[in-house]
Amino acid sequence: MKRHLFFVVGFMICISALATSIYSFVQVTRVETNVPSSTSISLPSSHFVLIAEEENNSYWRLVEKGAREAENQFDVLVEYKAPKRSNPEEQLKLIDMAISAKVDGIIVQAVNEEMFTPLINKAVDAGIPVITIDTDAPRSNRVAYIGTDNYYSGTIAGKAMLDDMEGDIHVAVITGSLESSHQKLRVQGFIDMISNEPRVTLVEVEASNISRLEAELKAHQLMEEHPHINAFYGTSALDGIGIVAAAEKLGLDDLYVIAFDTLPENLSLLEQEKIDAIVVQEPFEMGLKSVELLLDIREGQPYSMTNHTHTSIIRKPDLSLLQEHQRLGDKQ
Ligand code: BGC
């Protein structure tokens, strides 16, 4: 009887082991057949890299948005890369990595022409077309530029201030950087526009390192050191916000402020009359058109080397028109 029981238990163990093996085999085969075969994955035919100044800066996110729109429209993959905080050396490393990865094209903000030219030329020598965006390096071998005419944008900022203000003007400038090519042009254009006006004095030019907080600190210092300042010009996207924050802390409510870029915060300050005028740039358009331009170049289509996006001045009464324009743009 004991032997018989032993035989039955042994038999049941064997049966359940066999069943487990069959089940596992079926599962494995099922998983394998669910994996798509490598031939069914098709990669876009062009792979571009877009190298921005600062990863989470709202202005650069708009540029990225434009490039993503191009991804929707064309057979292209765009990788968005940028340092966490503005850092030209890191941007150079990103260009070098893109060259090693043999991408089909590079779109880069050439924030400092001298520093960026050797790597731009290295990419072009390796057969990779490079487009500069937002900030140009015209003496490099870049194939084209897309972005604001930065010198011109400085001149219209100067003209807007002259048109809007009566009497003597003591103006200070908060600029993104004293080294960046485009920021220097924005300041130079402004200075050239005001330099023949005896009623205008340029008090000081300070750098914010494109940080809202640093813009506020520098503006605060200037306001305390030079109480006669009655106007501020901010040349990068977050400078105006910093200038207004400093003015609010010191209770100064009659300063004239001209800022850059139609970011939502800037538009809201314009609405509240804390910013008086804004220089409009087209970051979404830059992102979209930069990809289109690179595709044209790769396909041997004709293209322009210099592609200036629209720049203009808006004041509070222009806000409704701008919002309508953006609303229509969102619908497209
Ligand atoms: C400039 C960008 C810059 C950004 C910083 C914009 O006005 O065009 O180059 O990175 O401001 O916030």
Q: What are 174-199's pLDDT values in tens digits? A: 999 999 999 999 999 999 999 999 99
21 domain residue, yes or no: no
Give me the sign of the Cα torsion angle 155, 157, 162, 164.
positive
Residues 107 and 228 occupy one common structural domain? no
Cα of 47 from ligand 1 centre, angstroms: 25
CA–CA separation, 80 and 67 (whole Å): 9
Q: What is the pLDDT of residue 33?
A: 41
Q: Contact 162/231 with Cβ under 8 angstroms?
A: no
Tell me the whole-structure pTM to 2 decimals: 0.86
Q: Contact 290/131 with Cβ under 8 angstroms?
A: yes
Whether the pLDDT of residue 318 is over 60: the answer is: yes
Q: What is the pLDDT of residue 329?
A: 57
Instruction: Take atom 12 of ligand 1 and give the residue whose Cα is closest.
Output: 237
More confident residue, 175 or 29: 175
Q: What is the pLDDT of residue 43?
A: 87
Residues 144 and 154 occupy one common structural domain? no
Nearest to 283 by CA among 71, 75, 53: 53
Residue with tokens 């004709």: 302
Residues 220 and 297 occupy one common structural domain? no
Residues 243 and 131 occupy one common structural domain? no
Residues 156 and 144 occupy one common structural domain? no
Residues 172 and 268 occupy one common structural domain? yes
Residues 178 and 207 occupy one common structural domain? yes
Residues 120 and 198 occupy one common structural domain? no
58 domain residue, yes or no: yes
2 domain residue, yes or no: no
Give the best-scoring range by mean pLDDT among 22-31, 273-282, 319-328. Answer: 273-282
Q: What is the pLDDT of residue 332?
A: 44
Residues 51 and 79 occupy one common structural domain? yes
Q: Contact 286/305 with Cβ under 8 angstroms?
A: no
At CB < 8 A and 24+ separation, what contacts does 32-40 make? none
5 domain residue, yes or no: no
Q: Residue 111 CA: which ligand 1 atom is closest?
A: 9
324 domain residue, yes or no: no
Cα of 237 from ligand 1 centre, angstroms: 5
Q: How many distinct structural domains can be found in the chain? A: 2
Q: Contact 323/291 with Cβ under 8 angstroms?
A: no
Q: Is 261 in the pocket of ligand 1 (CB under 6 A)?
A: yes
For 60, residues 6+ apart whose C-beta sits below 8 A from its C-beta are 52, 53, 54, 82, 283
Residue ranges making up the domain that contains 136: 46-148+283-301
70 domain residue, yes or no: yes
The bridge status of strand 277-280 relative to strand 169-175 is unpaired
129 domain residue, yes or no: yes
Q: What is the pLDDT of residue 42?
A: 82
DSSP of 56-106, one letter per residue?
Answer: T-HHHHHHHHHHHHHHHHSSEEEEEE--SS--HHHHHHHHHHHHHTT-SEE
Residues 120 and 242 occupy one common structural domain? no
Q: Which two tokens stand for residue 112?
A: 């400092």
237 domain residue, yes or no: yes
Residues 264 and 158 occupy one common structural domain? yes
Cα of 245 from ligand 1 centre, angstroms: 19
Looking at residue 89, which CATH number applies to its domain? 3.40.50.2300
Nearest to 255 by CA among 231, 281, 277: 231
Chain centroid to CA 257: 23
